[in-house]
Amino acid sequence: MESDNNKFKSYSNTHWEEEEHTGGILDRLSPPQRKLLRNVMLCAMLALLLWGVKIGETGAENVTETANYAEDETLGRLKYVNGDDVIVTSEDYSLPMAGEVVETFEQNGINVTVTGEDNAKVSAILSGTVSGVSSSGVTITNENGTTTTYEGIVPTVSVGDAVKNDDQVGKLAGEELTLTTMGGIGYMDSLDAGEILGIGG
């Protein structure tokens, strides 16, 4: 292989000797070495490009996540009941009673079961109106449009009674309280204030 600036003489397939040279560093490399250097540079450029894309995606995800959280928080706080605006905040939620969760919403997708002492006070988790009473349970239509049923209690309220969160709705009859909360999207975790209130958890 000869050119105006470079002349190479081959001694073997892998060894090149320079007879005359007036070019740059790349011109001193053998064709296989140039090919290797070119491939290494291409790999380095691709790695930098992928790294840049990943950093860009991470930034975009953070912006999207922040925007979605702000939107959810804003939209979740305002609920409409019979055309009236009702502001619902986390102070409006109370745990139903002291006890141990023995079956979670994640386990069955419908309700939660809590154990406690016989005759323990059972409280409303949200303010609302009693819409149903049976010998072993109470159903309350909550101010935010959800409905919660308390099963396994001796009711102390009547249909039509207005209750505030943390007001007593009954006493535990035995050792287990089962809570079922329904909303516009279906069953909800009665022990997840954020989900029930629509303000994030």
Number of domains in the chain: 2
Determine contact, residues 116/170, Cβ cutoff 8 Å: no
pLDDT of residue 169: 97
In this prediction the pTM is 0.55
Same domain, 51 and 148: no
Same domain, 116 and 55: no
> Is 90 exceeded by the pLDDT of residue 32?
no
User: In this structure, what token pair is assigned to residue 157?
Assistant: 């309220």
Same domain, 153 and 100: yes
Counting residues of the chain whose pLDDT is more than 90, the rounded percentage is 42
Measure the CA–CA gap between 29 and 6, rounded to whole angstroms: 11
State pLDDT tens for residues 49-64.
Answer: 888 877 776 655 555 5
State pLDDT tens for residues 61-82.
Answer: 555 555 455 444 444 443 434 4
Q: Which domain holds residue 79?
A: 1-87
Measure the CA–CA gap between 15 and 7, rounded to whole angstroms: 14
Same domain, 103 and 134: yes
pLDDT of residue 72: 47
C-alpha atoms less than 13 angstroms from C-alpha of 181 in its C-beta half-sphere: 24
Element (H, E) at 44: helix 31-77
Same domain, 193 and 97: yes
Measure the CA–CA gap between 80 and 87, rounded to whole angstroms: 9
Same domain, 110 and 95: yes
Which one of 51, 72, 87 terminates a domain? 87
Burial class (CB in 10 A: 0-12, 13-18, 19+), 110: middle
Same domain, 149 and 93: yes
In sequence order, which residues have a C-beta less than 8 Å from that of residue 131 and are 6 or more positions away?
139, 140, 141, 147, 159
Same domain, 39 and 130: no
CATH number reported for the structural domain that contains residue 131 in this entry: 2.70.70.10
Same domain, 98 and 47: no
State pLDDT tens for residues 144-199.
Answer: 899 999 999 999 999 999 999 999 999 999 999 999 999 888 999 888 876 666 65
pLDDT of residue 22: 53
Determine contact, residues 19/3, Cβ cutoff 8 Å: no
Same domain, 73 and 138: no
Measure the CA–CA gap between 82 and 74, rounded to whole angstroms: 20
